[in-house]
Structure 1
């Protein structure tokens, strides 16, 4: 299914029903699809054509979705951009994907438009009064445009999205996905959790992430449910939105569910009874935390999801009944539409008690990494995707994530490539050598820790290093701890033994 057809089908089945809610702004399916076709006209008049790439760098606002569907009606490809990136990081992604046109939220516009590319920028003012917002704002242009006429039978084998990874080799890679693959991602997810036709799903995690966009936003729209957008995650605002909009499902990193309980003094006063499913990903919950959250939220309907951008994302799920008994596991086998193996180094399937690499097979798998045949070949094994994650199988067949072969640190739901942070730190004038690892954290999953060997005669401090990194990498990637060392532990071949550093942190 082409993603524009996903929306058109929903119009036919749920036309007068609410499709998108953003504060006091509301669109029925018929209204939203008409606005998306007007957005297609705006994008086309700005130079976007079939096969072109549209970069979108916004918060969770209607503009993101209107631009996405507008691009798909136009026959163009959506490139979601992390709104937290520094200018240099934005520039790299724009150059790499060749985006001819981009949309940015006015609040972060200066950081994005300073990128030294020939990309043309449109600017969104999602919260401005229609009577006073700039005439050239994306919203004003969409309101005044005529709707575009999209092809009646669009090809679902065309490229729908380029999703950028965290960059385990120092630079993010672009996962190239077809319309068919992303539509199947939404379908498999809706089946696995499952989602319902009367869903009111709160999108409070960044919508440019693969899971909020493809699993939950498109999964909800596929069924004719309602997507409730929260501009940016904040614990109290999440509770207020759930209560006001009678939200039925919420997705977030573990910290997004833990923080309201710990940081909102009157948490117990909020009416959260409308929520049927509390869904979390990007890290597990231990048994004690799972019990505390179930008691606090008055619900035992918690789901864990595991996947990655390369697969849509799809992977595995841990059902509500398994949250305590199998705490820490990602599930048993793959979710509907997904085959999952744990593969030993000799190529055989791992038996109970053994550890191996997690391999996934699904029709949602990416076509490959954009302009990177070598990296694509490295992660493909026939029809299988080699995740790079190490999993251990228990006696019941449940798989627990043991380690990340790619040294990705997941902090607050954000993926941080340790090699990217190390590369930035090596350019610091006082740093001789560096290794970056994650320290386990009960709320954030992990925090970023840098082990630094300083140049002789200097002693860098955390505040100075953090200030120096501010303009070079996104804020969430900047180390929260700095450990000074005379040397780093290495193998005889010279490779840093990061497990030794992790053990050192675990020992206090």
Structure 2
């Protein structure tokens, strides 16, 4: 199950078929394979050896995929790097993973190449015409390299180190094998399902685990076509779907909500080719799902749930469950995945109970890079402890109510911060909100709301409490309110609640 060997099989069976599209440029599988083989030679000549780590920090461009498959063919490990990271963050990840060679987009090169790590940088110019790539660029070196003729390593080789988003502290590197990633792509393709004639639009950042392993690799290893949108933008997404006759798209819920809200001529775009609108990274309520189904003229919405530690795989909510079970992640695991909801006493949750979501699959990571303690804490008897708290309904569907570490215990009562945040966000003067616990000598913790108000507004604590009283039990209502200009977030947009807790503890 080496990823390079799997690509070889697709090239033999679908060599003339279109594999990759980027703007006005197209590659058949044979052309894609040749670019990958040239990349393997280029990377080896640049000093990348078997077992070494290649960092790739680009937008959604061909260089990312050429470098990834080239590294795998050469026996090396891919380390996708978030292109939104600042120099100090890039330095931290490069030093942690031990990369000595990296590929970076020219546009973001300065942030990366000034990082304090001993790394050789190959700079990509993805939008330069094929015959006008600057001398010394990744593309120019690629064109001049001879195709690699060696074979891939065994399927036990490490394929990827995927860094987590760091919502609870420093990002951790999830170490994955070729076999695990290949099964991630396979299980995803079987769950949705994807087809050999798929034309999949990758518009979310490809360095994220899901756009890369679920969708780009899931499509390529089936023999479908991957269409790269350099960076998400609502109108561009619609135009690309129409022009390229896209059959499937993945995004966060906002990726599908934003075009409806911000593109005035939304209805003028022909989106009829799409068979699957796939969303993840958060649920949608029934009202939102109905509005999107009407706007997009399709009931083919899928929700997927997973995390980097698992490939990512997890659970899914199918199109016929979207409205009736809105907000749920589904019932049981997706293809190839076992899912349990485990209560505090170690038993499986019954209807109405809340517990931690545990997952088991042969896609799971080997462990966290150089962190045995965190690896040991993440697993129990072969099950990955997700840290997500889920409530089971009478039909067995699971709804996430909070992160385990974000659950606030006040006066012996459990308060799910996400539930309170949802009620706060419905207030007309609240733009953004986070809820955390502050240690309290009497109650254990007290509920604190950190709110970003609408411009020109300054809601007070009593106003907020009055708004929440008919919506929440009294013990869930915040006793403190902090107004803020913005909430601290990771580069992928998740709130870093450990930073908020530290600020509150420091009084800032």
TM over 0.5: yes
**In structure 2, how many angstroms separate the alpha carbons of the residues matched to 1:18 and 1:142?**
20
| Residue equivalent to 2:147 | 147
Distance 1:36-1:475 versus aligned 2 partners, 3 A rule = closer
**In structure 1, how many angstroms separate the alpha carbons of the residues matched to 2:493 and 2:394?**
38
Say which is worse superposed, 235-244 or 136-145, in terms of deviation. Answer: 136-145
Cα displacement string for residues 471-500 of structure 1 (whole angstroms, at most 9, x for unaligned residues)? xx7495689xx999997799xxxxxxxxxx
Give the TM-score normalised by structure 2.
0.83
Cα displacement string for residues 3-22 of structure 1 (whole angstroms, at most 9, x for unaligned residues)? 11121111011110000000
Quote how far apart the aligned CAs of 1:404 are: 1.1
Contact 2:123 2:138 in 1 (8 A): yes
Distance 1:462-1:388 versus aligned 2 partners, 3 A rule = closer
**In structure 2, how many angstroms separate the alpha carbons of the residues matched to 1:364 and 1:436?**
29
**In structure 2, how many angstroms separate the alpha carbons of the residues matched to 1:324 and 1:123?**
46
**In structure 2, how many angstroms separate the alpha carbons of the residues matched to 1:72 and 1:438?**
45
Distance 1:475-1:372 versus aligned 2 partners, 3 A rule = closer
| Residue equivalent to 1:124 | 124
Cα RMSD (Å): 2.9
Cα displacement string for residues 296-335 of structure 1 (whole angstroms, at most 9, x for unaligned residues)? 0000000000000000000000000000000000000000
Distance 1:304-1:436 versus aligned 2 partners, 3 A rule = closer
**In structure 1, how many angstroms separate the alpha carbons of the residues matched to 2:7 and 2:503?**
58
Counterparts of 1:252-401 in structure 2, within 5 Å, are 252-401=251-400
Counterparts of 1:17-96 in structure 2, within 5 Å, are 17-96=17-96
Quote how far apart the aligned CAs of 1:135 are: 1.1
**In structure 2, how many angstroms separate the alpha carbons of the residues matched to 1:74 and 1:342?**
41
For residue 171 of structure 2, give the secondary structure of its aligned residue in structure 1: coil
Distance 1:307-1:474 versus aligned 2 partners, 3 A rule = closer
Cα displacement string for residues 271-292 of structure 1 (whole angstroms, at most 9, x for unaligned residues)? 0000000000000010000000
Distance 1:486-1:160 versus aligned 2 partners, 3 A rule = closer
Contact 2:82 2:491 in 1 (8 A): no
Distance 1:120-1:406 versus aligned 2 partners, 3 A rule = farther
**In structure 2, how many angstroms separate the alpha carbons of the residues matched to 1:33 and 1:486?**
51
**In structure 1, how many angstroms separate the alpha carbons of the residues matched to 2:170 and 2:53?**
19
Contact 2:392 2:398 in 1 (8 A): yes
Contact 1:214 1:313 in 2 (8 A): yes
Give the TM-score normalised by structure 1.
0.83
For residue 390 of structure 2, give the secondary structure of its aligned residue in structure 1: strand
**In structure 2, how many angstroms separate the alpha carbons of the residues matched to 1:140 and 1:485?**
48
Say which is worse superposed, 132-141 or 66-75, in terms of deviation. Answer: 132-141
Contact 1:40 1:70 in 2 (8 A): yes
Pairs aligned (count): 447
Contact 1:389 1:405 in 2 (8 A): yes
| 1:237 counterpart = 2:242 | no
Counterparts of 1:152-171 in structure 2, within 5 Å, are 154-171=153-170
For residue 89 of structure 1, give the secondary structure of its aligned residue in structure 2: helix
| Residue equivalent to 2:181 | 182
Quote how far apart the aligned CAs of 1:133 are: 2.6
Counterparts of 1:412-431 in structure 2, within 5 Å, are none
**In structure 2, how many angstroms separate the alpha carbons of the residues matched to 1:232 and 1:307?**
23
Gaps spanning 5+ residues in structure 1: where? Answer: 409-434, 453-459, 491-508
**In structure 1, how many angstroms separate the alpha carbons of the residues matched to 2:19 and 2:360?**
32
| Residue equivalent to 2:455 | none
**In structure 2, how many angstroms separate the alpha carbons of the residues matched to 1:196 and 1:105?**
31
Quote how far apart the aligned CAs of 1:132 are: 3.2
Contact 1:438 1:448 in 2 (8 A): no
**In structure 2, how many angstroms separate the alpha carbons of the residues matched to 1:370 and 1:68?**
19
**In structure 1, how many angstroms separate the alpha carbons of the residues matched to 2:164 and 2:503?**
33
Contact 1:86 1:474 in 2 (8 A): no
**In structure 2, how many angstroms separate the alpha carbons of the residues matched to 1:307 and 1:172?**
17
Large movers: runs of 4+ above 3 Å:
435-442, 446-452, 460-463, 473-479, 482-490
**In structure 1, how many angstroms separate the alpha carbons of the residues matched to 2:483 and 2:281?**
30
Quote how far apart the aligned CAs of 1:105 are: 0.3
Cα displacement string for residues 64-105 of structure 1 (whole angstroms, at most 9, x for unaligned residues)? 000000000000000000000111111100000000101100
For residue 21 of structure 2, give the secondary structure of its aligned residue in structure 1: strand
**In structure 2, how many angstroms separate the alpha carbons of the residues matched to 1:22 and 1:28?**
12
| 1:191 counterpart = 2:178 | no
Quote how far apart the aligned CAs of 1:151 are: 1.7
Contact 2:401 2:418 in 1 (8 A): no
| Residue equivalent to 2:412 | none
| Residue equivalent to 2:463 | none
Gaps spanning 5+ residues in structure 2: where? Answer: 408-416, 436-448, 451-481
**In structure 1, how many angstroms separate the alpha carbons of the residues matched to 2:394 and 2:200?**
36
Quote how far apart the aligned CAs of 1:436 are: 13
Quote how far apart the aligned CAs of 1:258 are: 0.3
**In structure 2, how many angstroms separate the alpha carbons of the residues matched to 1:268 and 1:250?**
18
For residue 221 of structure 2, give the secondary structure of its aligned residue in structure 1: helix
